[in-house]
């Protein structure tokens, strides 16, 4: 029984430690430990919980990884409606709203709280006795979808809060979103896998939290800013919105650091203008700012009209849209053979940038929006997001516009084009298509793949057009063509040497990088890591059956079939053979795990008393266990060492009575260091 008690204590220590570091990383943006150390703590907790499933709780950090697919979303009744905000678009309109509110309050003046209006998905989080029990979408304001399991995967949402500070039951409201950088990487990953791109971060966020399989949600770069408190039971809350936000922050919720208390309407206007001027540099998408009456009493007095509160308003930023003519629709052929349509536009200035092309995603999306060649169209650009066509201006049609249809043959090589039943994309059937070959070379040298510095997209294109590189393996034979390289434009002796050195250095990239660099359809960086963990080499992976692949977590029939098909193609086999001949490392050394009894601290039992300066006690105990030792809380005759930290307890005296060796922190850390080297 004592063993179970120790396990329970260790699990609680790990949860507390992980929640602490989680908060510092995802909420405070101030990590104290490395990703590797965090992962090690998470692995230990997962292992202990798998061995003792009866000790798993809903607020454990391990519960963020996602659950099996849900059959359907349930419905959540909001105890208080989640109302949408009315919009204003000018200072005059904002001032008019302010006057109306003041008049309804009998001429009273009031403070305002302002913060960016994040372009995401509104959610309501309900906590009971400090635990997150329900997470729901806004829905129609009165009834939303139950997406609790998905929201638990968002690491900036606390799974539990301090029971002493928190009310017995309360609701927090916030906006789930995807930061710009996360959105860019997400779309890059989808492009590599031949999947349709998300139009904007908001659509990506909304789609992510509504996945029936929460393990997919867990892989998306979702974040949250809380913006208010809903119904509260059992405890008084502050009298102002500003104080409520500070209170939520103290509970561990992520509050936008740009939230500002404004004394006058003119201060609110200055705040708004600052954000209009700096909107390109924001790390997230926002389409305006929210202005709220600070006093909770005044909010109650003002109430709501229809579906909008009178005490808050959305002061929108100027639209980043323009109108122009769609001259034609072009086609790019990607490295996976996908045909990607794009709009060729009459140049138009939108948001300070001249736009002459825009994304169109796929034929289905073009028809859904009823976009036709020759249309006058509304083009939108938001921050760093790819420009897109919002809609056609139907009233300006002349009758000469043409409905777009995807070509039946590849515009690059002339091969037949097909559209797989379960995909939105059309694909060229020729794996030797020149466009595919060039895109594969660009992908191979990219940072997430083989990371060949000095060989960028332009050089790849030049090398391909000059016939110096026909496939990715040819890169490793360029050292025999140095004179031809020196003859290329802008390629001096130093730049050629740098490029060849980078190519040479890339021969030893990790297996996961190599698998990703091969450009297997649907295999992005995460799946490449998974495959590298389960196969020792590219050769071993190439021999894997569909059944073997399907046995791996997250690998479905589509991906398994894609991998098997890739290694079946003669052209791919030929490229892999050339890579091997060129000395590219296509596998990893097999490392045998040491048996527990062979580890350096096997058979030794440690008790730590007092406070350690170099690390938390839980971290030190985790290191002991990783090295084969045992960490205990009681001093007995079986104890090998008592580690004495600052302000030790009675265990020191007990160790003296039992004749147990006592060591100080410096001696203990040296022992761990030497043991790690021995391991």
CA dist 244 and 93 (Å) reads 27
The tokens describing 111, both together, are: 């403070």
Neighbouring residues of 458: CB distance < 8 A, sequence distance ≥ 6: none
What is the Cα 51 distance to its own chain's centre? Answer: 30
Count of residues making up the chain: 679
Burial class (CB in 10 A: 0-12, 13-18, 19+), 504: middle
d(CA 320, CA 174): 25
Residue 646: helix, strand or coil by DSSP? Answer: strand
Distance, CA of 480 to CA of 498 (rounded, Å): 15
Provide the 10 A C-beta neighbour count for residue 319: 13
Residue 509 CB contacts under 8 Å (≥ 6 apart), including other chains: 450, 451, 517, 585
Quick check: is 369 catalytic?
no
321-333 and 372-373: which strand pairing? unpaired
Given a contact cutoff of 8 angstroms between Cβ atoms, the answer to whether 406 and 339 are in contact is yes
The CA distance from 132 to 152, in Å, is 8
- The active-site residue out of 8, 117, 169, 440 is 117
**Residue 523 near residue 190, CB atoms below 8 Å:** no
Beta carbons within 8 Å of 285's beta carbon, 6+ residues apart = 118, 119, 120, 177, 180, 200, 201, 202, 382, 383, 385
Q: What does the DSSP 8-state code read for residue 319?
A: P
Q: How far apart are CA 132 and CA 130, in angstroms?
A: 7
Nearest Cα residue to 609 out of 551, 664, 669: 664
Say if residues 640 and 606 touch (Cβ distance below 8 Å): yes
Say how far apart CA 364 and CA 569 lie, in whole Å.
30
Which residue's entry shows tokens 């929108």?
316
**How far apart are alpha carbons 438 and 466 in whole angstroms?**
12
Rg (CA), the chain: 30
Tell me 657's DSSP state: H
What is the number of other CB atoms lying within 10 angstroms of the CB of residue 567? 17
From start to end of 421-513, where are the E strands? 426-428
- Measured CA to CA in angstroms, residue 114 lies from 210, 256, 263 at distances of 29, 10, 11
CA quadruple 208, 212, 215, 216: dihedral sign: negative
- Which residues carry out catalysis? 117
């Amino acid at each position: 029984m004592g063993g179970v008690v120790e396990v329970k204590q260790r699990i609680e220590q790990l949860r507390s430690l992980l929640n602490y570091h989680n908060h510092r990383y995802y909420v405070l943006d101030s990590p104290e430990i490395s990703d590797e150390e965090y992962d090690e703590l998470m692995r230990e907790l997962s292992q202990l919980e798998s061995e003792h499933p009866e000790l798993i709780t809903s607020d454990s950090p391990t519960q963020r990884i996602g659950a099996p697919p849900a059959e359907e979303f349930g419905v959540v009744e909001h105890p208080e409606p989640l109302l949408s905000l009315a919009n204003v678009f000018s200072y005059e309109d904002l001032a008019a709203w302010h006057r109306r509110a003041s008049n309804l309050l009998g001429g009273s003046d009031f403070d305002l709280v302002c913060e960016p209006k994040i372009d995401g998905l509104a959610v309501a989080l309900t906590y009971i006795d400090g635990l997150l029990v329900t997470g729901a979408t806004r829905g129609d304001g009165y009834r939303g979808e139950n997406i609790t399991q998905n929201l638990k995967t968002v690491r900036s949402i606390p799974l539990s809060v301090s029971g002493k500070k928190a009310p017995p039951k309360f609701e927090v409201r916030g906006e789930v979103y995807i930061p710009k950088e996360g959105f860019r990487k997400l779309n890059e990953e989808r492009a590599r896998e031949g999947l349709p791109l998300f139009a904007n971060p908001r659509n990506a966020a909304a789609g992510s939290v509504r996945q029936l399989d929460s393990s997919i949600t867990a892989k998306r770069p979702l974040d949250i800013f809380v913006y208010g408190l809903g119904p509260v039971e059992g405890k008084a809350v502050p009298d102002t919105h500003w104080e409520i936000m500070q209170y939520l922050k103290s509970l561990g919720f992520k509050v936008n650091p740009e939230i500002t208390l404004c004394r006058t309407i003119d201060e609110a206007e200055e705040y708004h203008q600052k954000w209009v001027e700096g909107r390109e540099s924001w790390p997230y998408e926002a389409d305006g700012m929210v202005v709220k009456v600070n006093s909770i009493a005044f909010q109650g007095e003002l109430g709501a009209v229809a579906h909008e509160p009178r005490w808050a308003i959305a002061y929108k930023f100027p639209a980043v849209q323009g109108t122009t003519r769609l001259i034609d629709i072009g086609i790019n052929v990607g490295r996976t053979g996908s045909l990607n349509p794009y709009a060729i536009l009459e140049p138009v200035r939108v948001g300070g940038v001249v736009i002459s092309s825009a994304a169109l995603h796929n034929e289905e999306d073009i028809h859904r929006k009823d976009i036709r060649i020759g249309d006058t169209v509304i083009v939108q650009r938001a921050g760093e997001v790819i420009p897109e066509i919002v809609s056609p201006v139907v009233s300006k049609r002349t009758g000469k516009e043409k409905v777009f249809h995807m070509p039946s043959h590849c515009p690059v090589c002339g091969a037949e084009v097909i559209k797989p039943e379960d995909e939105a994309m059309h694909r060229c059937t020729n794996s030797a298509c020149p466009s595919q070959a060039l895109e594969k070379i660009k992908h191979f040298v990219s940072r997430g793949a083989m990371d060949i510095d000095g060989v960028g997209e332009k050089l790849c294109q030049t090398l391909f057009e000059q016939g110096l590189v026909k496939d990715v393996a040819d890169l490793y034979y360029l050292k025999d063509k140095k004179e031809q390289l020196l003859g290329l434009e802008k390629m001096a002796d130093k730049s050629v040497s740098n490029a060849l050195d980078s190519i040479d250095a890339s021969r030893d990239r990790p297996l996961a990088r190599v698998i990703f660099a091969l450009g297997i359809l649907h295999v992005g960086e995460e799946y490449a890591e998974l495959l590298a963990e389960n196969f020792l080499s590219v050769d071993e992976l190439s021999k894997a059956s569909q059944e073997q692949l399907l046995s791996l977590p997250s690998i479905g029939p589509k991906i398994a079939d894609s991998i098997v098909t890739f290694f079946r193609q003669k052209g791919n086999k030929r490229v892999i053979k050339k890579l091997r001949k060129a000395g590219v490392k296509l596998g990893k050394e097999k490392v045998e795990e040491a048996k527990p009894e062979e580890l350096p601290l096997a058979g030794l039992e440690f008790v730590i008393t007092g406070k350690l300066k170099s690390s938390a006690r839980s971290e030190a105990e985790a290191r002991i266990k990783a090295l084969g030792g045992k960490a205990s809380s009681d001093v007995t005759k079986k104890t090998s060492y008592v580690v004495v930290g600052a302000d030790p307890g009675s265990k020191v005296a007990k160790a003296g009575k039992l004749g147990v060796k006592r060591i100080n922190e410096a001696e203990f850390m040296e022992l761990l260091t030497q043991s790690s080297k021995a391991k």
